[in-house]
């Protein structure tokens, strides 16, 4: 349950941050990257909150870079 809450917080925070970007394509890339990164980070670290947060951050950055 704790991991689910952490993941939801990350998704909501990322969604609010992507609202500040100018392009819809870029916002979708950042949001999608954050979600996928968070899920991957959680899975790779056995559900740790730190893994989820780091994965979401790296995923958001990757999504941003791919849609630049």
pLDDT in tens, 22-53: 577 788 888 888 888 888 888 899 888 888 88
Placement of tokens 């994965």 in the chain: 55
Residues in the chain: 68
Higher-confidence position of 2 and 30? 30
Domain that holds residue 60: 2-66
* Total domains in the fold of the chain: 1
How far is residue 43's CA from residue 52's CA, in Å, rounded to a whole number?
A: 8
């Amino acid at each position: 349950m704790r991991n689910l809450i952490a993941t939801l917080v990350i998704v909501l925070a990322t969604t609010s941050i992507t609202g500040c970007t100018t392009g819809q394509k870029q916002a979708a890339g950042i949001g999608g990257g954050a979600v996928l990164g968070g899920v991957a980070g959680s899975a790779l670290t056995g559900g740790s909150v730190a893994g989820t947060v780091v994965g979401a951050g790296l995923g958001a950055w990757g999504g941003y870079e791919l849609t630049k």
